[in-house]
Structure 1
Amino acid sequence: MYKYILRRLLQMIPVLLGSTFIIFAMVFALPGDPTAGMCGERGCPPAFVAKFRQEHNLNDPLLVQYGKYMVNVAQGDLGTNFRDIKVSDELKQRYPTTVRLAAMAILFETLIGILAGVLAGIRKGKFIDNLVLVSTLFVISVPVFVIGATLQYYLGVKLGLFPVTVSSSATFYELLLPAFVLGSSSIAYVARLTRTNLVENLRADYLRTAIAKGLTKRRAVGVHALRNSLIPVVTFIGADFGGLLAGAIITERIFNIQGVGGYLFTGIHNRDGVVVVGTVTVLVLVFLLANLVVDLLYGVLDPRISHD
C-alpha cells in the first residue's frame, strides 16, 4: 500500500509540471501589455513599467520565467499578483468557501444521484426509470448558468426560500442553493451511471447464484450488486471534485460568492497571470490528490483490487 502511494505521488510530479507549464505558457505568451489600464487612461510611466516587468520577471525568456516560478512554488510561494498581494494569502481566505461549496455539491450528487440511479435500476422500464432518464437528460442539456439564474429568480426572488446572494460569511444555509446548482449536472451523470451499472450487475451470474442460494433480494442488490456498481461512480465523483472547484466560476459569479472561482475570474479579466497560474496550480494539485483517494477506495469497494 505504502509503495503504491509513493509511486503515485512520484507520478504526480511530471503531471503537475506539464500542466502548470502549459497554463504558464498560455497565460504569459499572450500578446499585450499587462500594465495597460493600471494607471488610468494615460498609461503608466516608463519607469513604472520597467520596474513592474523587472519585479515579475517579464523580461526573461519563458522557460526562465517558468523555472523561477516553480522554484518559488516548491517553497510554498505562489507569487505576488499585480496589485502586490500574495496569491497564497488570497487563496487561504477564499479556498474554505469554495471547498465547502464543492463538498456540498458532492454530497448532493452522491445522495440524490445514487438514490435516483438505484430506483431507476431496480425499476427498469417502469415509470420511475423513465422519469429519471428524461429528467437527467433535461438537466444535462441545460447550461449551468441557466439553471442557476432560474432557481435564483424563482426560489430566491419570487418565493424567498433562499438568499439571492451569498454574504462574506458564506453560511451553510446560504450555500445550499449554489451547491445544488453547481452539482446539478453531476447529479444527472451520477444517476445515469449508477442506473446503467446496476442494471448490468443485476443480470450477472453471481447475483442470480446468490439469490438461488437463499440470499434475500434486498441484500443481494443492496450489498453485492450496488457495491460493484459504485466503482465507476466513485471514479466519476472523485474526478468531479477537482472539476467542481474549477467549475465554480460560473456559480460563484451568479450568487456573488467570494471564492476561488471568482478570484480566478478576476485574474483572467485583469490579465493577472500570476493569479491565474497560481490558482490553477492549486486546482491541479487538488485534482491529483482526489484521484489518488479514489484509487485507494477501489480496494474498499472491491476486495479483488489490490494495491500491493
Structure 2
Amino acid sequence: MGRYVIRRLLQMIPVVIGTTFIIYTMVWALPGDPFAGKCGDRACPPAYISMMTAEYNLDEPLLVQYGLYMVDLMQGNFGETFRGTEIVNELLQRYPTTVQLAVIAIVFELVIGIAAGVVAGLRRGGFIDNLVLVSTLVVVSIPVFVIGLVAQIVVGVQLGWLPVTYDGTVYSLILPGFVLGSLSLAYVARLMRTNLVENLRSDYVRTATAKGMPQKRVIGVHTLRNSLIPVVTFIGADFGNLLGGAIVTEGIFNIPGVGNMIFRGIRDREGATVTAAVTILVLVFLLVNLFVDLLYAALDPRIRYE
C-alpha cells in the first residue's frame, strides 16, 4: 500500500507540470496587450507597463517565464494580481465557500442519486424504474444555468423556501448546491441502477440466495457494495470537477468562490490568478482520486494494492 501511494504521488508531478504549463501558455501566450484596460479609459503609462512587464517576466521567452513562475510557486509564492492583491489570500478567502458548495452537491448526489438508483434497480421494469430513467434523462438534457434560474424563481421567489443569493451562510448554499449537483445526480442514479441490475444477475448472488442467505444481506452486503465501485469512481472525479466547474452556478447565485475568481481572472487576463487557482484545483483533484482508489479495497476486499 505504501509503495502504491508513493508511486501515485510521484505520478502527480508530471500531471501538475503539464497542466500548469498548458494553462500558463493559454493565458500569457494569447495575442494582444495584457495590460489593455488596466488603467481605465486611457492607455497605461510606459513606466507602469515596464514595471509590470519586469514583475511578471513578460520580457523573457515563454519557457523562461513559466520556469520562473514555477520556482516561485514551489516556494509558496502564488504572486499578486494586477491590482496588487496577494493571490494566496484570495484563495484562502474563496476556497472554503467553493468546498462547502461542492460538498453539498456531493451529498445530494450520494443521498438522492444512490437511493433513486437502488430503488429503480430493485424494481426494474416497474413504474418507479421508468420514472427514474425518464426524470434523469430530462435533467441531463437541461443546461445547468436553466436549472439554476428555474430553481431561483420557483423555490426561492415563488415558494420562498430557500435564499436565491448567497448571504454568507451554509443555508444559502443548499439551493445552489442542489443545482450544481443536479446533472451528476442524474448520472449517479442511472449508473447505480445499471450496476445493481447487472450484479443482481451475477453467479455469486444466485449462489448466496440458493444457500438461504437473507435477501437483505445479499443486496446490502454483497450486491450493493460491488455496485458502488463505479459510482464512487464517478463521484470522486466529479468532486474535483465541481471545485473547478462551479463558475456558472456561482455566477447565478452570486457566490464569491474560486469559480468566480477563475472567471474574473480569464476575463481580465490575470495569468497568475488563473494559473494559481487551477494548480490548486489540479492538486485537489489528484488527491481525491488517490483517496477513491484506496477506498476500492474497503468496498471490495478482492482488490489489493502491491
Q: TM-score, normalised by structure 2?
A: 0.99
Deviations 1:125-150 (A, max 9, x none): 00000000000000001000000000
CA distance in 2, matches of 1:28, 1:40: 21
Q: Which residue of 2 aligns with 1:300?
A: 298
Q: Which residue of 2 aligns with 1:264?
A: 262
**Structure 2 residue runs without a partner (length 5+):** none
CA distance in 1, matches of 2:26, 2:264: 17
SS in 2 for 1:244: helix
Q: Which residue of 2 aligns with 1:8?
A: 8
Q: CA deviation at 1:177?
A: 0.3
Residues 1:137 and 2:134 are matched in the alignment:
no
Residues 1:216 and 2:214 are matched in the alignment:
yes
**Structure 1 residue runs without a partner (length 5+):** none
Q: More deviation in 187-196 or 35-44?
A: 35-44
Segments of 4+ moved more than 6 angstroms: none
Q: Which residue of 1 aligns with 2:30?
A: 30
Residues 1:128 and 2:128 are matched in the alignment:
yes
Q: CA deviation at 1:154?
A: 1.0
Q: Which residue of 1 aligns with 2:109?
A: 109
SS in 2 for 1:10: helix
Q: Which residue of 2 aligns with 1:287?
A: 285
Q: Which residue of 1 aligns with 2:62?
A: 62
Q: Which residue of 1 aligns with 2:93?
A: 93
For 2:218, the aligned partner's letter is: A
SS in 2 for 1:271: coil
For 1:213, the aligned partner's letter is: K
CA distance in 1, matches of 2:225, 2:55: 55
CA distance in 1, matches of 2:73, 2:42: 35
Instruction: Provide the identity percentage.
Output: 65
For 2:171, the aligned partner's letter is: Y
SS in 2 for 1:280: helix
For residue 186 of structure 1, the aligned residue among 171, 184, 187 is 184
CA distance in 2, matches of 1:29, 1:226: 50
Q: Which residue of 2 aligns with 1:157?
A: 157
Q: CA deviation at 1:230?
A: 0.5
CA distance in 1, matches of 2:120, 2:299: 22
Residues 1:79 and 2:79 are matched in the alignment:
yes
CA distance in 2, matches of 1:158, 1:102: 26
Q: TM-score, normalised by structure 1?
A: 0.98
Q: CA deviation at 1:299?
A: 0.5
For 1:21, the aligned partner's letter is: F
Deviations 1:89-135 (A, max 9, x none): 10000000000100110011011100000000000000000000000
CA distance in 2, matches of 1:77, 1:40: 28
For 2:64, the aligned partner's letter is: V
